[in-house]
Amino acid sequence: MKKLIIISLVSFILIFSAIPVYAAETAKLSTESDIAPQFTAIWSMGAGLSIDSWGKAICSGFVTPQSNSYSSELTVSLQKSTGSGWSTIKSWSESGVGFAGVIIEGHHYVASGTYRVCSTAKIYNSSGTLLETESFYSAERTY
């Protein structure tokens, strides 16, 4: 019960700290209120990034599958803008089974630049068949 409460609180914080987030393979949307991802096996997911005055980047992500029989794999990647794209500088990965999903929080000290977090989830059924892969991006932060 305690774990469920903690997961719920962390999920709530991540959801509201990850605005705006964008689905990786959808058309660009004009406003934040237009965001309405269409998932088939994912109940919810998010990505978040904060950078303190010392350059400590707190990177977070979560995924919750739509079925308790599904397993989840989540990779949270800290990315830096290179001017011509984004380069991954640090990643964390975890897996989990059931509605508990996966929550990841990691940190990395950064130099000056513009950063974002990419949260990539893979959902598998009980037979191990990949059902869905999706990515979300946090808001960009400059240090």
For the segment 129-142, what is each residue's pLDDT rounded down to a tens digit? 999 999 999 999 99
Flag whether pLDDT at 124 surpasses 90: yes
Domain range for residue 90? 2-22+41-142
Q: What's the pTM?
A: 0.72
> Does 30 fall in a domain?
no
Based on DSSP, count helices (H) and strands (E) in the chain, helices before strands.
1, 9
Flag whether pLDDT at 51 surpasses 70: yes
- Residue with structure tokens 């904060």? 50
Question: What Cα–Cα distance (Å) separates residue 126 from each residue in 40, 67, 96, 97, 129?
Answer: 15, 10, 12, 9, 8
Phi, psi of 29 (to 5 degrees): -105, 150
> Does 35 fall in a domain?
no
Instruction: Work out how many domains the chain is built from and give that number.
Output: 1
C-alpha–C-alpha distance, residues 70 and 64, integer Å? 9
- Residue with structure tokens 């237009």? 34
